[in-house]
């Protein structure tokens, strides 16, 4: 009998079962592990098998619901983060993780006076500061959910469980040391908080969804670091773009894990040839999302005015692609409002439009192909969300970037990513993601 199956029997709480007279019976206590004569029910017995099965069901149910909750919450955080960025509130709290030195934000006159004195270059704006700090609170809550998910996924493998716990401790230490000004030690602990979940995910002998659940914790730690750098590096475009991509990556990992934990998958290989086409669509969409993040972070959304499909009334306006796509411009520059001239911003906007055209053509073709191959529901979903996203993009330009439309444009991009991920999950073989893997796992 394998060591893993024996662990299922040892650690599960016994259920009340009556045996023949004179035979052993288990205690009704939830924590009972042995029969009354001091022996354990053998795993091969009906009672031992039922205990192991009940334990597996409880763990899988917890993973399913927690992954779903975390994915939905991550979508909300992405939407609220877009709202913060597009309302120009990204630097409304000039320090991190506090806001003008407070856990929440200044609310009373003497707190506001103290805040203005401490940060004379960044006067306090009440209508913006709460947005930034609430976003941080939401991100912290999401981090807690993802930590719980990672712990459950890694719990039955001791070294992986220890790695996740150690990563959480290192993340907390890294933040504490940063607030105390000990940057070198803070960087060391932060690197450990990033690396340990990645190592645990790589070494964990579980199906893909379980490893993704562990990896997501490392991603969200990095996402927190990007949030810090967004403030400390004064909205540097490459960091702001990375923060957007990090948020969507977190959402994508959690959504895919939730789908696989729920048993989404293919019973056969009829649609296997479509996997590469869908995977390429995801890569193409990710590149376009990155272009959108670059457009937003460089304040180039209205570089062509409100003209569409022309730009500034021309089909070929003055552009400067060289300056428009310089990724690193040094430290110490405040990028709020943008630093590029109109030609560079126009180049970014035109590149984003060309990328949108490429994505529209490819995903439109993919939608049609999915519908023709027997995946009509997935094809319609991809096509409908794609059209909605294009219309929102055009509306952004035509109506001068209204905040609700621009925020919704970010959210529908995440939904389009979700439809492709759901399609990919449907095309993957329905393996062991929704059940515990075979016995004999590494301890």
Q: Is the dihedral of CA 314, 316, 321, 322 positive or negative?
A: negative
Residues 6+ apart with CB under 8 A from 385: 412, 415, 416, 419
CA-nearest of 340, 94, 338 to 230 is 94
Cα–chain-centroid distance for residue 177?
Answer: 25
Evaluate whether 138 touches 80 at the Cβ level (below 8 Å): yes
Evaluate whether 217 touches 167 at the Cβ level (below 8 Å): yes
Q: Which of 7, 111, 125, 132 is catalytic?
A: 132
Residues 6+ apart with CB under 8 A from 58: none
Q: Give DSSP secondary structure letters for 33-58.
A: -SBTTSPPPPTTSHHHHHHHHHHHHH
- DSSP state at residue 428: S
Tokens of 313: 């009334």
Angle of helix 208-232 relative to helix 126-154, nearest 10 degrees?
Answer: 150
Evaluate whether 7 touches 158 at the Cβ level (below 8 Å): no
Q: Give DSSP secondary structure letters for 330-386.
A: -SS---TT----HHHHHHHHHHHHHHHHHHHHHHHHHHHHHHHTT-HHHHHHHHHHH
Evaluate whether 8 touches 18 at the Cβ level (below 8 Å): no
Tokens of 324: 């428009």
Distances (CA, A) of 373 to 248, 276, 341, 382: 29, 14, 48, 14
Catalytic-residue membership of 7: no
Q: Which residues are catalytic?
A: 132
């Amino acid at each position: 009998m394998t060591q893993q199956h024996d662990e299922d029997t040892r650690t599960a709480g016994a259920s009340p079962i009556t045996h023949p007279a004179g035979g052993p019976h288990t205690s009704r206590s939830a924590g009972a592990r042995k029969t009354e004569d001091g022996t354990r029910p053998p795993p091969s017995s009906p009672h031992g098998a039922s205990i192991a099965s009940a334990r597996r069901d409880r763990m899988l149910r917890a993973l399913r619901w927690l992954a779903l909750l975390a994915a939905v919450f991550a979508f909300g955080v992405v939407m609220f983060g877009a709202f913060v960025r597009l309302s120009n509130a990204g630097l409304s709290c000039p320090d991190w993780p506090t806001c003008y030195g407070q856990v929440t934000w200044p609310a009373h006159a003497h707190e506001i006076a103290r805040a203005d004195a401490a940060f004379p270059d960044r006067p306090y704006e009440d209508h913006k500061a709460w947005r930034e700090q609430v976003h941080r609170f939401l991100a912290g809550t999401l981090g807690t959910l993802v930590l719980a998910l990672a712990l459950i996924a890694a719990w039955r493998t001791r070294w992986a469980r220890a790695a996740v716990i150690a990563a959480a401790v290192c993340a907390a230490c890294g933040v504490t040391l940063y607030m105390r000004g000990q940057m070198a030690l803070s960087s060391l602990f932060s690197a450990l908080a990033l690396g340990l979940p990645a190592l645990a995910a790589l070494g964990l002998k579980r199906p893909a969804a379980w490893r993704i659940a562990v990896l997501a914790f490392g991603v969200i730690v990095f996402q927190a670091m990007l949030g810090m750098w967004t403030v400390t590096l004064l909205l540097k475009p490459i960091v702001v773009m990375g923060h957007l991509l990090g948020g969507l990556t977190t959402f994508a990992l959690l959504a895919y894990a939730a789908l696989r934990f729920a048993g989404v998958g293919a019973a056969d290989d009829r649609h296997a040839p479509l996997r590469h086409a869908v995977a390429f669509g995801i890569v193409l969409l990710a590149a376009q999302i990155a272009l959108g993040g670059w457009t937003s972070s460089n304040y180039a959304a209205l570089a062509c005015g409100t003209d569409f499909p022309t730009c500034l009334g021309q089909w070929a306006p003055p552009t400067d692609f060289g300056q428009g796509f310089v990724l690193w411009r040094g430290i110490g520059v405040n990028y709020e409002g943008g630093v590029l001239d109109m030609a560079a911003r126009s180049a970014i906007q035109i590149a984003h439009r060309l990328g949108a055209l490429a994505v529209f053509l490819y995903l439109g073709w993919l939608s049609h192909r999915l519908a023709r191959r027997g995946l009509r529901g997935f094809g319609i979903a991809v096509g409908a969300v794609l059209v909605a996203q294009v219309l929102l993009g055009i509306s952004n330009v035509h109506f001068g970037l209204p905040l609700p439309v621009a925020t919704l444009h970010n959210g529908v991009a995440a939904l389009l990513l979700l439809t492709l991920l759901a399609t990919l999950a449907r095309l993957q073989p329905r393996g062991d993601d929704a059940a515990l893997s075979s016995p004999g796992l590494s301890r």
